[in-house]
Every structure is written in C-alpha cells, then in structure tokens.
Amino acid sequence: MELPTVAATMSTLRLLQAQRHRIGTGFQAEGWREPVAVLDPFIMVDHFRMREAVFAPHPHAGFSAVTYLFDDSATAVISRDSLGGEYDILPGGLHWSLAGRGLIHDEYPADAGGEAHGLQLFVNLPAEQKLREPAVMRLSPEQMPRRSGDGWSAVQVFGGTAELALPWPTALAVVDVQPGALYPLTLAAGEQGFALVVHGRGHAGDLPVAPGQAVHLAGPAAAVIKAETVLRLAVCSGRPLQEPVVRHGPFVMNDEGQIVAALQRYQTGAMGRLPARHLSNEQR
C-alpha cells in the first residue's frame, strides 16, 4: 500500500489535548471528553493508572463501559457487576460491560499496591439498543489478532478481525512503532477516529505528537505517523451515530425522559444490586 504524503493529510489533522484528573493517590488519568460530535460514537476515553480501589459500586445505562489493560500493567483488575459476575481482567485483556437498560459494577486492582495501567472507553449505544438487556463480553490477549508492517506491530483489541460481537461498528488497535518507522492511519468514508499517544514522541504530518495528545482524523482520509522514539498509540475509530445525546452522570440517553426512567430503574433496584466489597487487611 502506498503511504499518503504529508501534503495530502495536513488539512484533515487536528490535535486533541487531554485533561488530567486524579482521585487522591490511587487514580490518575489523561482523559478526552470532547464535544460529542468529535468523539462519536465514543463518549469519553481515559488513559488511566490505578493503584487503589477508588470507585464504589455505581450504575451505568445507555452505553458500554470498556476496560483494556496494557500488557505492561503491573496487576490485573477485578471487575464485579450486578449480573452476578466477578472477573479478572488480565494485562493485555479486554472487558466489555454493555450496560443497555442498566447494570451496576465496580473495578479495582487485583493486587494491593500494584498499579493497573489501561484504557477505559465509554462507547455509545444506538437509540434502538439503549434499553437492551445488559451483557458482559471479554477477550484474552491470545484472542486478539496481530499484524505488523515495516517497523511497527499492532494488536487488534476489538473491531476489525477481533472476535467480539459489537453492538455498533467501532475498533481499537494498540500499535507500537519503532524509531524512524512510519505507521499509516487510514479511515474509510463515514468513519472518524483518533490515535492517543500512550508513550513516546513522533510526528503526524508536520504536527509533533507526545503523551497527553491525540491525533484526530475524519474519513475518508489518511495520515502517516512517524516515530521519533519508541511510540505506542491507541487507535480508536468508528462510525458516528449522529444521534441526540443527553448525559446525566453515569447515564447516556437520547432524551431527558429516558434519563428519568434510568434513574427510577436504579433507585428501585431494577438494575440489580451490588454490595460494597469487604476489604482484606492487606487492602485496607
């Protein structure tokens, strides 16, 4: 495949800056919460590091909460939910909580003091699936397809040829690019996406990129990212829903009436129950 020239891509590229946030000493993240139209079909993305259980059990409805742990994560993450599940998310693994009409979950590091390193993505659901039954989907690192090119390698976490029945066309690939090598970022007509810099430095066209930044691209378009140092990218893409979004805390719906109904389901126990976990002496 012939790589696109810099001149052909400069007009389509823009940089998105992360917002940094933390919760005490146990959680810190670089987050992207652009206007809905910019990230659609994603609602938000967090590149996080978590050392403590900082989130109490909490509800979600109207979207999917997706957790991916990088292969350098020092610990697994435990995910519990009101469907009765308790799962280990291992380094390199994916956990997809499709909330639909509503569920309650929490996640925390498996090893006290160990640092979990990963991504959490909120992926919107189309209007006709907002009230579907909740479900959980998972992939191990061994189930994720791999591909490589001249100086780069990629893991297809979901979407593309990955084995996951997605509710809407979306994709995530984690790409490692060696110094001096090029990685082609291409999108089909009707798609948009962004490449988050996990670590390393490089250039997208003539734009320098570094951790805390994301390169945004709307299709049909192509760009070339050149690595200056060892560069790791998390490349998200999808077909925009282009539907109304009304968000209230952990609920993402199409109108305010659906938000009120989600609150009622949560308050009446229709999303199930998830008791606070009991901490061991090592975790206190």
The widest CA-to-CA distance across the chain, in whole angstroms, is 59
- Please state the residue numbers annotated as binding site: 58, 60, 105, 107
The share of the chain scoring above pLDDT 90, in percent, equals 83
- Give dist(CA 120, CA 225) in Å, integer: 24
Task: Give mean pLDDT, residues 184-197.
Answer: 94
**Greater model confidence, 92 or 3:** 92
Indicate the domain borders of the chain.
6-267
Strand (E) or helix (H) holding 105: strand 103-109
pLDDT at 73: 98
Cβ-in-10-Å burial (0-12, 13-18, 19+) of 142 comes to exposed
pLDDT at 12: 66
Q: Is the pLDDT of residue 2 over 70?
A: no
CATH number of 6-267: 2.60.120.10
Task: Give mean pLDDT, residues 168-194.
Answer: 96
**Greater model confidence, 29 or 5:** 29
Q: Is the pLDDT of residue 276 over 70?
A: yes
Q: Is the pLDDT of residue 118 over 90?
A: yes
Helix, strand, or coil (residue 261)? helix
Q: Is the pLDDT of residue 115 over 80?
A: yes
Q: Is the pLDDT of residue 279 over 80?
A: no
Q: Is the pLDDT of residue 284 over 50?
A: no
* pTM metric for this prediction: 0.92
pLDDT at 113: 84
Task: Give mean pLDDT, residues 256-278.
Answer: 94
52-86 burial: b if 16+ Cβ within 10 Å, else e: bbbeeeebbbbbbbbbbbbeebebbbbbbbbbeee
Residue pLDDT, tens place only, 214-225: 999 888 888 999
Q: Is the pLDDT of residue 200 over 90?
A: yes
Phi, psi of 5 (to 5 degrees): -80, 160
Arithmetic mean of pLDDT over the chain: 92
Return the sign of the alpha-carbon dihedral for residues 278, 80, 56, 32.
positive
Is residue 115 within 8 Å of residue 91, measured between CB atoms? no
- Please state the residue numbers annotated as binding site for Fe cation: 58, 60, 105, 107
- Give dist(CA 165, CA 176) in Å, integer: 26
Asked if the bond preceding 35 is cis, omega within 30° of 0, the reply is no
